[in-house]
Structure 1
Amino acid sequence: MDLELRHLRTLCLLADTGSVTKAAAALATSQPALTTQLQRIEREVGGRLFHRGRAGVEPTELGEFVLVRARSVLLSMDDLLHDVSARGASPATLRVGGVGPLTVELSARLPEVFPHAPVHVRTEYSPKLVTDLVRAGHLDLGTAIDYVDRDLSTDGPLSWAMLAVEPLHVALPSAHPAAGAPVVELADLRGALWALTPPDGTGWPECFYLACQHAGFTPEVPFRLHDRAEIRELVAGGRAVAPCRPDFDGGEGVVVRRLEGEPIQLRHLLVWRRDGVVQQAADSIARLAREILGAPRSYEGAGAAPGSAAG
């Protein structure tokens, strides 16, 4: 007879209950059948494993030796089965956070990858906060943006995927002298008053000031506003110009123009922990995110590559 896992479990159950009668009941078998099985196991290992008496059963010295190793084997097997099961299973809840509309749109498509996992969503202003929440394990997946051309491949426990690169535009009052051109030189806006959003912890507005410096001027920034609608109102009223995303709401009184040479670029990023539930499905999730952004296929498989402007 070859020893099997069920035999090891029987030995451990006998030791834990201290009784052949109780062990037989737990195994839904008869006492004689269990006694016969124990005798076969003892013949296989070459010695008695339990002392039998009126008070029950107690392990012999050989029995103690076998039980220590049996428990170790069973624990290792339980860990193996748990890991294999968890590898292909959906998380109980998928916690997603990020900046901008991509977060919400991506969350609606995550059931394509995790069909049985409820998705909980939160949005934040700061991409750095999103990254910190993922690093701390409070989020399973984050969408972020960055302006700084830095290497993200060695960022502690985090993994990154670059989704798309997007140049910042400028929102101008429709009566502005530069509004008639499809492309605007940043240097031509040296005398303008600017409206900026607050710092986001990932390089904004430092990258804006650096671009202006390269264009030969220091911008005057009397307006620092978080709300996109308030910035649009300032621009429409002719009181300011503002760096913005290409999809910034133009409309009456506002035009959105490209900046010559694309001096300020942001990159859309996906972030997760390498030891987290997203790791195995990261490529599929990144593909969904790129579809939502309309990113070119050249970003497929891109690793780390460049958080928030006025729009």
Structure 2
Amino acid sequence: MDLELRHLRTLCLLADTGSVTRAAAALATSQPALTTQLQRIEREVGGRLFHRGRSGVEPTELGEFVLVRARSVLLSMDDLVHDISARSASPPVLRVGGVGPLTIEFSERLPEIFPRIPVHVRTEYSPKLVTDLVRAGHLDLGAAIDYVDRDLSTDGPLAWAMLAVEPLHVALQTGHPAAGAAAVALGDLADSPWALTPPDGTGWPECFYLACQRSGFAPEVPYRLHDRSEIRELVAAGRAVAPCRPDFGTGDGVVVRRLEGEPIQLRHLLVWRRDAPVQQASDAVVRLAREILEAAHPAEDTDPSSGTCAG
């Protein structure tokens, strides 16, 4: 068997993005070339590693087995490279990455804390990938998310700060029976078809299924889509309801409502390496990130007649 590190990175990227198209774009290659490479890897391991479908790719049982070991190998190698190249002085560039809009404003204001250090920014779809890049020393700071009920690892090289907790809402067609309420019980949506985004590596959609189980039902999920605009079209057409962030677009047949009891809660996190120079200024960095998040999430409007729900 002739598997190389680049093959393992390709498999992990496919799992993190859930899409051949997205993975190919991240690797700066074509979709057919990446598909051919995946088929070659599958021949090497002797079985299919991913299920392919219209909504993307998902690991098979063999794929999950390989991915766990691939991530371990890659993290060990990245740690080795980081330890070899680690510098004790302040970095010449502050490398910041993350998911969501916090990353951009956060990076723009970091010179308030590090006035003489240029800031380089990258955004990713997968919060798991952001964390892995920080762990490997390819990022100095990561703005990530995960979900309440998941334990943060306190072992190893990473330091975490919990910035805020944000309850997920639900997007409904304006004609849905529950659309007139300010808040909706998750159990009242048991008979509705759902549209979900693919796994993000940090607890989604497991937290959704757990919340549904606690509410006494198993959801019907006929749609798994990356594109938020496609999910919005399904909701507007009355073909699905969807868990969403409070800033999910409303109007044109779509309303966003709170879920009673906040059964699904997203956590905003900041992550860095304990042995990185940024550790010395971590208190100031965390305060800045929290300030930005608080400014971005004003008090929630619970008037059902407004058609919006800001948070």
Mapping 1:102-251, distance limit 5 Å? 102-152=102-152, 154-251=154-251
Percent of matched pairs sharing the same residue: 81
Shift of 1:239: 1.1
Computing the radius of gyration from Cα coordinates, the structure with the larger value is 1
Q: Could you tell me how far apart the structure 2 residues matched to 1:284 and 1:249 are?
A: 33
What does residue 91 of structure 1 align with? 91
Runs (5+) with no aligned partner, structure 2: 1-86, 297-310
| Matched residue SS, 2:217 | coil
What does residue 292 of structure 1 align with? 292
Query: Any conservation in 2 of the 1:96–1:120 contact (CA below 8 Å)?
Result: yes
What does residue 271 of structure 2 align with? 271
Q: Could you tell me how far apart the structure 2 residues matched to 1:208 and 1:172 are?
A: 16
Runs (5+) with no aligned partner, structure 1: 1-81, 297-310
Q: Could you tell me how far apart the structure 2 residues matched to 1:230 and 1:173 are?
A: 14
Query: Any conservation in 2 of the 1:133–1:139 contact (CA below 8 Å)?
Result: yes
| Matched residue SS, 1:294 | helix
In structure 2, give the amino acid aligned to 1:170.
V
| Matched residue SS, 1:210 | helix
| Matched residue SS, 1:269 | strand
Q: Which 10-residue stretch deviates more, 146-155 or 199-208? A: 146-155
Say if 2:262 is the partner of 1:262: yes
Shift of 1:153: 5.5
The Cα offsets for residues 105-151 of structure 1, whole Å up to 9 and x where unpaired, read as 10010110111111111111111111110000010000111114344
The Cα offsets for residues 287-309 of structure 1, whole Å up to 9 and x where unpaired, read as 1111111079xxxxxxxxxxxxx
Residue 151 to residue 238, structure 1, CA distance change in 2 (3 Å): closer
What TM-score, normalized to structure 1? 0.65
The Cα offsets for residues 167-205 of structure 1, whole Å up to 9 and x where unpaired, read as 000000011000000010111101111110000111100
What TM-score, normalized to structure 2? 0.65
The Cα offsets for residues 2-39 of structure 1, whole Å up to 9 and x where unpaired, read as xxxxxxxxxxxxxxxxxxxxxxxxxxxxxxxxxxxxxx
Shift of 1:154: 1.6
Shift of 1:212: 0.5
Shift of 1:91: 2.5
In structure 2, give the amino acid aligned to 1:284.
A
| Matched residue SS, 2:277 | coil
The Cα offsets for residues 193-243 of structure 1, whole Å up to 9 and x where unpaired, read as 111000011110000001111111111111111111111111111111000
Query: Any conservation in 2 of the 1:163–1:295 contact (CA below 8 Å)?
Result: no
| Matched residue SS, 1:131 | helix
| Matched residue SS, 1:233 | helix
What does residue 101 of structure 2 align with? 101
In structure 2, give the amino acid aligned to 1:234.
L
| Matched residue SS, 1:155 | coil
